[in-house]
Amino acid sequence: MRKLIRQSTNLMQFAKSAKPKKKISQQHHKHEAAPCTLSPGNRECTSGHARQTEDHPGFFTSVCLLFCLLEPTTTHGLPPPPAEHDRLSPSYQKTQKVRSITKAIATFIATDLRTYSVVNNGGFRLVVRTMELRYKLPHRKYFAEKEVPRLYEETKASVLESMKKPTRIVLTCDAWTSVATKSFVTVTAHFVLASDKNGWKLVSHVLQTREMSESHTGANVGELLEKATAEWQISDKDLVLVTDNASNMVVADQKTKYVHLKCYAHTANLASQKALKLAAVAKLLARIRQISTFFHRSTTRLHLLEENQKLLGLKQHKLKTDVCTRWNSAYKMTERFLEQQPAIAATLLSPQVGETSLSVTLIHFLYGSK
C-alpha cells in the first residue's frame, strides 16, 4: 500500500509538469474515444474524460496511470466472468459436463421429491451458478417434459433388467390416502440375488404408486395387480403376494391366483389390539394418554416439564402418544411415561400449572389414590 501511495505521488508530480493536450473537436468526441498514450495496453478513455483532461490534465493523467498499474484481469480477487458468447455458446451447452449437471439436477428433483419450480428459486440458481458459472439452467418445463421422463425410462430399463434374474418375486401391495384425500395404491417387488461379498442380497423396487379413483374392491385391486405384472414383464415369474388382512386383498388374491401371504406385523397388531382392549389395560393406557395430551396442548407445561427434567437429571425426552394401528406404540408410550414419571409429578404439582380438575385427577393417578 505504501508503495502504491509513493507511486501515485510521483505520478502526480509528473502530471503537473505534463503539457496540456490539444483540444479535441466535439465531432471527434462524438464518434471515437481518445486513446491513452500513457497506458501500456493503449486503453481508451471516454470522451467525457478527454474533455475534462483539458481543464485538469494532471489529475486525470495520474488517475489513468494508476489504473494501468492495476491488474486488469481480476476484480476483488475473483476471476472475471466468462464472456456472454462463451457462457451461452451452443458448443459448450452440448458438452458432457453440461449433460451431467442437468441429469444430476433431475435426479435431485426425483429422489428428494422436489417440485419442478425448485429450479426457479433464487437460492438454487445461486448454488448452480457458483458451481459452474457457464452453465445455463434449463426451464422447469424442460425437466418436467424431457429430463425427468428420460431419467424414468433409464431407471425402468435398469429395473426390468434386474428382475430378469430371479425366478421368484414377492409383491407387496397396499392402498393409502394422501393428505389431499386422494387414494393411491403402491406395488413393490422384492427378490433375493446371490452376492459375492455377503452371499445373498435383498433387492426391492417400487414398481408403481398410482392414483386409484375407483372403489377399492377386490376385483379392481386384482386388475391393477395384473396390469402391473404385465407392464413390468414378470407375469411368468413365480409370484407371491403379501398384503394385510383386509377382505378386498383376499378377493384380489383369488382373482390373480398368486400365492397369498398375510402380513405378520399386521396379524400381530390385530392380536395385540384385542389384548390392549381389556378393561384394566385400557383404563391404564387411557390415563397415560391423557397425561401425554395434557402436556402437548400447552407450551407452558412443556417448558416446565423440560425444566424439571434438567433439575432431576432426566433425559430430555418428549412424552409419546400411542396409535391404534401400531401395537408397539402403546408399549413405547408406557415406557416413556415410566421414564419421565418424576418430572411429570413435579410439573403437575407446580404452582404455574395451577390446580384444575384434570391436574388433580392426574396427580391422584400418579400417586395411586382414588
pLDDT at residue 75 greater than cutoff 90: no
Q: 59-83 burial string, b = 16+ CB within 10 Å, else e?
A: ebbbbbbeeeeeeeeeeeeeeeeee
β-bridge pairing 238-243 and 168-177:
parallel
Are 190 and 163 contacting, i.e. CB atoms less than 8 angstroms apart? no
What domains can be seen in the chain, in order of their start residue? 2-69 (no CATH), 84-158 (no CATH), 167-262 (3.30.420), 275-366 (no CATH)
Calculate the average pLDDT of the chain: 78
pLDDT at residue 265 greater than cutoff 90: no
- Confidence band of 13 (pLDDT split at 50, 70, 90): low
First to last CA, the chain: 85
pTM summary value: 0.62
Cα distances from 55 to residues 20, 24, 31, 205, 327, in angstroms, run 8, 12, 21, 80, 92
8-state DSSP, 12 = H
Beginning with the edge strand found earlier in the chain, give each strand of the sheet holding 238-243 in spatial order: 199-211, 183-195, 168-177, 238-243, 259-262
Are 207 and 190 contacting, i.e. CB atoms less than 8 angstroms apart? no
Q: Which three cell numbers stand for residue 250?
A: 383376499
Q: Which three cell numbers stand for residue 168?
A: 421368484
Q: Which three cell numbers stand for residue 323?
A: 396409535
pLDDT at residue 29 greater than cutoff 50: no
- Confidence band of 175 (pLDDT split at 50, 70, 90): confident
Q: Which of 151, 152, 125, 136 is nearest to 95 (CA)?
A: 136
Model confidence pLDDT, tens digit, residues 92-127: 667 888 899 999 999 999 999 999 999 999 999 999
Alpha carbons within 13 angstroms on the beta-carbon side of residue 74 total 6
Query: Cell 402403546 appears where?
Result: 330
